[in-house]
Structures are given as C-alpha cells and as structure tokens.
Amino acid sequence: EFLRTHPVNANRIAEALGRADDFGAQQRPDSLRFQLARAALRERSYKRPEQAVAHFRDTLREGRHRNAVAEHYGYALALTRAGQFDAARAALATAMKSHSSLPEFIVLEARLDLEQGQVERAVRNLGQAVGLSPSHWPLRVAYAEALMKAGRPAQAIDELTAVARLRPGNPMLYDKLEQAAFRAGNKSATHRFRAEKLYAEGDREPAIRQLEIALRQRDLPYHEAARIQARLETWKEEEREAKRKDKRGDKS
C-alpha cells in the first residue's frame, strides 16, 4: 500500500531500501522478503506500467534476476498496474507456488479480487490473514480498504485505528481514516482524522482549526469531545510555544 500511494524516484527508492524493515521484520539482503521489497520498488520506478511489464518480462525470459519468486511478484505488480489482471494472476500464482502465505502475495491477490469485483472474497482472505499476522500493517491497511469497498466503513475505521496505534503519526493512515469516517457519515471523526493528518504533516494551525470544527458537530459523543478537547489544548500550547520561540529569535 505504501508503494502504491507514494510516488517514487531514485532517491526515494534508495531511502525505502534502507528502511526495508517497514515491510515486516528486519530482513537480510538475501532474504525473500527483502527481494520482494526491491522488486516492488523497481516496478514503481517505471512511470508507465507497460515499461515495467516489459522490464520484468525481459528479466524473467533472460534469467537476469537474483530471485525468480521476487521477479514473478514484480511482474505481477506491473501487470496489475497495466490492467492485465488475468496475466497478473498467472504471474502471482507462479510466485505463490511455494510461498502462498506471504502477506505481500495475499495483499496483491486481494487487490486483484477487488479489481475484478470479487470484493467479499478479498475481505474474507484478508481477514483470515490479519488474524494470523496482526502486526503486519500493510496487510491490515489492505483489509481496511477491502472493507470500505464492501461498504463497511465503520469496520474499516476500527481496523485503521488499530494500525494507527501501531504506527502513530503516519499521514497516509489518517488520510484513509478520514475517507472511512466520511463514508460512514461521521462528521466529527472526519474532521478529527483530517486534523491528525495535517498535524502529522507539520501543518499545526489548520489542524487546530479542524479540531475546532470537529467539536462543533452535533454527532459528537461526550467522551470523544473530551478527547478532542484535550488534544486541541495540547496543540494550542505547542503553537503558543512555537510563537514565543519565534519572538525570542527575532529579538536576538
């Protein structure tokens, strides 16, 4: 999911490879999980999906790869982005022959299910996988996305909230929470999650305004209002302190 929602360039690829532990536990360079991450980043480095498809097709045909399983995975990703879903399933099936339970494969298989209208199957398979690997955050994000596609935004909020506790301060998660809250018709939560996204991105003043809007919503339960009020006071104090520091800096 991170790779699908964050455009990549050469610098970001290098940075992401340096943080390969985001794709699970810390991986050795020769591990399959590490090679899967490299293949996914390589696939996203091509602006046009047909370029990525041609690259992986050629490397597989010519045997120019470190790991055939990872290369088929990259090929499946490229075919998916190109809209060639049946071919993508075939490439993924080859990769999954001896590693069917890897979260990366389950996420991609579910993505193909969603693309081809098999929403409930995607929800079922991802839910089972989350039960087995609850700490794998990309898997849980994919599950939440499937729940939203299935018209269950309230369940998606619960899932994404659990992920946000595992990875606090992640703007992408708060963006998805905002979308889920909007689909659920929860106005106060929509503004609250928008505020958290803005704050995580360093935009404190607009984040404060969003919390103030959230507090004015009629659908706001008392306990939630108290939580938002406490968050608002913390941010306002941070803003006051930042302004005091700016003034001291101007005087010096």
**Could you read off the pLDDT of 209-219 as tens digits, one per residue?**
999 999 999 87
**Could you read off the pLDDT of 145-155 as tens digits, one per residue?**
999 999 999 99
Give the span between the Cα atoms of 252 and 237, in whole angstroms. 23
Domain membership flag for residue 81: yes
Domain membership flag for residue 70: yes
**Rounded to two decimals, what is the model's pTM?**
0.81
Gyration radius of the chain's alpha carbons: 21
Tell me: do 13 and 82 sit in the same domain.
yes
Tell me: do 35 and 57 sit in the same domain.
yes
Tell me: do 191 and 220 sit in the same domain.
yes
Mean of the per-residue pLDDT values of the chain: 89
**pLDDT of amino acid 247:** 80
Tell me: do 41 and 1 sit in the same domain.
yes
Q: How far is CA 156 from CA 17, 55, 150, 152, in A?
A: 29, 36, 10, 6
20-29, 119-128, 176-185: lowest mean pLDDT where?
20-29
Helix (H) / strand (E) element for 167: namely: none
Domain membership flag for residue 168: no
Domain membership flag for residue 170: no
The answer to whether 108 touches 2, Cβ cutoff 8 Å, is no
Tell me: do 2 and 61 sit in the same domain.
yes
Confidence of residue 18 (pLDDT cuts 50, 70, 90): very low
Domain membership flag for residue 169: no
Domain membership flag for residue 177: no
Domain membership flag for residue 43: yes
**pLDDT of amino acid 29:** 55
Q: Is the pLDDT of residue 15 over 80?
A: no
Give the span between the Cα atoms of 76 and 94, in whole angstroms. 10
Q: Report how many domains make up the chain.
A: 3
**CATH number of the domain enclosing 147:** 1.25.40.10
**Could you read off the pLDDT of 168-177 as tens digits, one per residue?**
999 999 999 9
Tell me: do 17 and 82 sit in the same domain.
yes
For 155, the domain range is 101-163
Give the span between the Cα atoms of 54 and 173, in whole angstroms. 33
Of 95, 119, 152, the last residue of a domain is 95
Q: Is the pLDDT of residue 17 over 50?
A: no
Tell me: do 155 and 208 sit in the same domain.
no
Domain membership flag for residue 171: no
**Could you read off the pLDDT of 56-70 as tens digits, one per residue?**
999 999 999 999 999
Tell me: do 198 and 242 sit in the same domain.
yes
